[in-house]
Chains A and B, each alone.
Chain A
Amino acid sequence: AQSVTQLDSQVPVFEEAPVELRCNYSSSVSVYLFWYVQYPNQGLQLLLKYLSGSTLVKGINGFEAEFNKSQTSFHLRKPSVHISDTAEYFCAVSDRSTGFQKLVFGTGTRLLVSP
């Protein structure tokens, strides 16, 4: 079964510094990859997704992620973070075994941006 690993439960960073949130998945079959952001007591908002094509995907709010098939990774990056980026970030994967219909989520990474 597919699994998603987000190694960092919490990432503290200063405002305007770059950040990378790591995501690795287990399955070697065809996958679709997603990053979501969750603000306190809210649902999930899609940041970006990879379905096919270019391995570098750009999303909203200045975030981007790179799909690396050989390393089964989909790390999220932002060159300069803002205080407002403080939130929980979830990586999610769907794969061919479920017809790409079900999402499997990682455990999340809390990004803490301080002044």
Chain B
Amino acid sequence: GAVVSQHPSWVICKSGTSVKIECRSLDFQATTMFWYRQFPKQSLMLMATSNEGSKATYEQGVEKDKFLINHASLTLSTLTVTSAHPEDSSFYICSARAQQGSYEQYFGPGTRLTVT
């Protein structure tokens, strides 16, 4: 149980275009989903926290207009990187929490974004 999927697993896009990454909880309802960014050989940095049906809460330094997060249902959250640039190239990982007050996050397999 507690499986989280991400799609696509790998994407290449041209500079200036937008790309959408999906995060789905397959066998549970996720009241909260988290989006992380991981640079090569570095740790995960929390970008934002999204709760179903409400606006995402972004961490300091993360541009909310560039990284659009939508959490429209209890099993799906999307991250859209708008007007992507090469410096946005990274590994994006989502996680999901099953219920309010739960302290465990279940992680997706990640999406590698390369902007050319």
Contacts and interface: CB of A to CB of B under 8 A. Distances in A.
B109 A43 contact: yes
How many of chain B's residues touch chain A, expressed as a range?
20 to 34
B44 A105 contact: yes
A103 B112 contact: no
A80 B79 CA distance: 41
B103 A32 contact: yes
Given A43-B93, A46-B104, A107 B42 contact: yes
Nearest to A42: B109
B44 A94 contact: no
A44 interface: yes
A55 to B, nearest CB: 18
Contacts of B46: 102-104
B42 A108 contact: yes
Contacts of B91: 41
Contacts of B108: 43
Of A32, A42, A44, A100, chain B has the most CB atoms within 10 Å of the CB of: A44
Interface residues of A, number: 21
B103 A43 contact: no
Contacts of B89: none
Interface string A38-51: 00011111100101
Interface of A: 32, 36, 41-46, 49, 51, 90, 94, 100-108
Interface of B: 4, 6, 32, 34, 41-46, 49, 91, 93, 95, 97, 103-110, 112
What are the 3 A-B residue pairs with the smallest beta carbon separation, nearest first? A43-B107, A44-B107, A43-B109
